[in-house]
Structure 1
C-alpha cells in the first residue's frame, strides 16, 4: 500500500476480505455511520467517548473479547443495526483508510459496492485522477481493483473474473491461517458468500476525514 498519493486525487481504498464487505453489509442492515479507526486501541477510545456505538473489528483476524462483533459480514447479516452507529477497527482496511489526509474524495470499496462506487465517482469526480489502494497483498483486492479500474475506464469487466480472484485470495488466506496454531485460525467459510456477492449494495461508502479517523456514510447510487 502506497501512502504517497498526490493531494487532490480520488482515493479508493479496497478491502474485500473482509473489512469493507462487513461495512457494506452493516449499512444494508440499517447502520447510519461507520467510524473507521486506525487501530483497535483507537477504536476502544472512541467507544469510551461514544458508549452508545457498537464496536466491530478484529486483531489478527479474530474478534477481540471486548468487541460487539468481529470483522465478519456473516455476523453483520443477522445483526440488529437499524439506526445504529458503528466503530470499526481492522488490521488492513480501516487502517488504510485513514492514511490519506488530503484527497478530493475518499471511498471504501469491496465487491459488494464496486459498481455503485464507479457510478459515484463518474457522477461526482469525472476527470479527477483516481488512486486505487489495495490494503492487502492477496488476490481478492487486486481483482477488485482491476474490475473497478475497468469500470472507470468504460470497459465491461466480467463478474466471474472478479469472483475467481476473490476465491483465489480466500485460498491464500486459508493457507496462511493453516500455518497458525488452532486457536489463532480464522474460518472464512461463512463470510465468502458475502465477499463474492458482486454489486449487491447500491451505494458508495464515502469517507469524511475527522481527527484521527474516517467516518463512512452510505450514499445511494
Structure 2
C-alpha cells in the first residue's frame, strides 16, 4: 500500500480528494454497524437516503418488497418500520427485503464519497473482513461520519484500527496526520485494554455519540457496536445504482 488517509469528518475532506479513490466510510454509532447487521441478516440491499421525505418516496415506489429504517436525533422516525438499532434487523424482519435507510450522520458521509471509485462500509463488527478485502489496494481514504458535525472517539478508534492493520501488510504507506493520530489512539487503547482489561464498549461510553445514545435509553447499542469481528461481511455502496450490497 502506498498511501492511507483518514478524515475525521466529511467536512475535512478537500474537494476532489476522494475522486476515483477507494473509500471506507465509518459510522460506528450506528449506521455502518446497523447496515452490516441488516445485510448479514439477509436484506437484499440497503438504499441510503439523505432526507426523510426521499426515503418515504423510495419506499412507496418499491412497494411491499421494501421496509423503512432510520433515525433523527437517535430515535426512530415517525411512520418508519425500524430505527437505527442493530438488534431490530434480523432475518425475520428484513430477510429478503430492500431496506430504505436514512440516518443523521452516516448517509451524509456516504454522499461525500459519491465520486469515488469504490465505497466500502466498516464497523468494529466487520473490522477484519473489511481489512482483508482492502489488503491489495494501493491507496485508501477513510471517512469518519462523526456526530452532528463533531469528531467522535468511536470513529477515530476504528479508523486507527483499520489503518494499523493495513499498515502491517507489505510496504509502509504514507499517512496523513489524521491517520497517524488515529493509529496512535488505537494503539493506546489496545495497550490500556491489555493493562486494565477495560472492554471496548466501556471505553466508548464517554464518547459524544455514545452519550447521546445513553440519554435516549439505547445503551445496549454501544455494546453491540463494540463486538469485534462478529460479522464476516463487507458492505459496498454501488455508486451507479446507489445501493449497498455485500461483496462477500
Q: TM-score per shorter chain, which class?
A: 0.7 to 0.9
CA distance in 2, matches of 1:175, 1:6: 31
Structure 1 pair 3–31 and aligned structure 2 pair: CA distance change class (3 A): same
> Tell me, which stretches of 5 or more residues in structure 1 are unaligned?
179-184
Answering whether residue 234 of structure 2 is matched by residue 204 of structure 1, we say yes
Structure 1 pair 176–34 and aligned structure 2 pair: CA distance change class (3 A): closer
Answering whether residue 86 of structure 2 is matched by residue 73 of structure 1, we say yes
The DSSP-based 3-state class of the residue aligned with 2:99 is strand
May I ask how many residue pairs the two structures share in their alignment? 209
C-alpha displacement at 1:165, in angstroms? 5.6
Structure label with greater radius of gyration: 2
Answering whether residue 31 of structure 2 is matched by residue 29 of structure 1, we say no
Give the structure 1 partner of residue 165 of structure 2: 151
Q: Is the 8 A contact 2:25 2:121 kept in 1?
A: yes
Q: Is the 8 A contact 1:143 1:165 kept in 2?
A: no
Q: Pairwise mapping of residues 173-188 of structure 1 onto structure 2 (< 5 A)? A: 173-176=209-212, 185-188=215-218
Deviations 1:26-55 (A, max 9, x none): 112111101111122221121122122111
More helix by share: 2
The DSSP-based 3-state class of the residue aligned with 1:43 is helix
Question: How does the TM-score come out when normalised to structure 1?
Answer: 0.84
Q: Pairwise mapping of residues 3-22 of structure 1 onto structure 2 (< 5 A)? A: 3-4=13-14, 5-22=17-34
CA distance in 2, matches of 1:140, 1:131: 17
Answering whether residue 134 of structure 2 is matched by residue 101 of structure 1, we say no
Q: Pairwise mapping of residues 55-134 of structure 1 onto structure 2 (< 5 A)? A: 55-77=68-90, 79-123=92-136, 126-127=137-138, 129-134=139-144
CA distance in 1, matches of 2:213, 2:202: 15
Give the structure 2 partner of residue 139 of structure 1: 153
CA distance in 2, matches of 1:174, 1:194: 12
Deviations 1:152-202 (A, max 9, x none): 1117x77x7398565444323354567xxxxxx422222123201111111
Q: Is the 8 A contact 1:89 1:95 kept in 2?
A: no
CA distance in 1, matches of 2:42, 2:161: 27
1:170 to 205, 210, 218: 205
Q: Is the 8 A contact 2:210 2:222 kept in 1?
A: no
> Tell me, which stretches of 5 or more residues in structure 2 are unaligned?
1-8, 170-185
